[in-house]
Amino acid sequence: MIKKFVKNFNDSVGVAQNSTFAKQLWIIVPVFLLLVLLTVLIYNHYADFTWDNFLAGFNQEFLIFFAIGVFAQLVDGTLGMGYGATSTSFLLAYGVPPAVSSTGVHVAEMFTTGASTISHHKFGNINKKLFRHLLIPGVLGSITGAYLLSDVIDGEAIKPFIAVYMMVLAIIIIKKALVKNIVKKKTKRLDILASFGGFMDAVGGGGWGPIVTSTLLGRGRNPRYTIGTVNAAEFAVAFASGVTFMIFGGIQGWQVIIGLILGGVIAAPIAAFLVNKIQRKPMMIIVGILIIILSLKTLSKLL
């Protein structure tokens, strides 16, 4: 049934691609959804948004969250992976509770990936066929993971496992950077890959890029279109998990969310511009090492 639904969806989208309106949807839909989410965010925190609280919120901690958002989006937009792993590692190392960290990262990703999608679309970095194959399985996996983390799994109890998971993602990133002479191969079972990536991204606070992007690049796919397409699909994945977190867990830590959003939105077009202008392998190694160091710091606090 799911395969039939995906096929019908792909066919309908394929027809719509030829129209001007379909092209405009790449911008209209993300902008509309982001405005709706901003309204929800303010509504859920309307009691906190007094003038005094608003001014008090823009303190040193807010600047730290803003800087994390800028750096994480630059990493994700240029490498096609690492936003969740980078931001989650920084937040956990800084002492932000897992529940606040996970919710903040995924709600912020709804905004940053929306901006990133628009930017990659503008620069022509999106393969629409690949996008359709990743979309629905990724969304279903993210919803499942977000529900389990917000309503079933104890976030504090799995904090050490999240830190270890971050190190695994870092090793994947470094490994992909060191691989040479990649032979292009056909990627099979994209639905399973996307479902697993979406699920682990929601549960672990990151993983969509390191799992999906690294696998596709490891198969010899074009980096430009792979990075742009996976980033575009991540918008839907982040939106689905973010809404799930809000429904079952509420929104916590508005400073974290707003800081990550503003930093990420500002950095998104810069990252999309730089995607073909930087040396990816050295940066992947540096980011991987940084994530490992941050994860070890988090683990040291728990021992």
For 284, phi then psi, to 5°, come to -65, -40
Question: What amino acid is encoded at 301 in this protein?
Answer: K
16-52 residue pLDDT tens: 444 454 455 555 655 666 566 556 555 555 555 566 6
Question: Which residue carries 């379909």 as its tokens?
Answer: 22
pLDDT score for 252? 66
50-105 residue pLDDT tens: 666 666 667 888 899 999 999 988 888 777 677 888 898 898 888 887 777 877 88
Number of neighbouring beta carbons within 10 Å of residue 149: 27
Cα separation of 165 and 262, whole Å?
27
171-213 residue pLDDT tens: 888 887 787 766 666 667 889 999 998 998 888 777 788 888 8
Given a cut of 90, whether residue 137 has pLDDT beyond it is yes
* Closest CA relative to residue 229, chosen from 134, 136, 140: 134
Question: Which residue carries 């830590």 as its tokens?
Answer: 253
Task: Measure the N-to-C terminal CA separation of the chain; round to a whole number of Å.
Answer: 47
Provide, rounded to the nearest whole percent, the portion of the chain with pLDDT above 70. 75
Record the pTM. Answer: 0.71
Cα separation of 128 and 231, whole Å?
12
| Mean per-residue pLDDT over the chain, rounded | 77
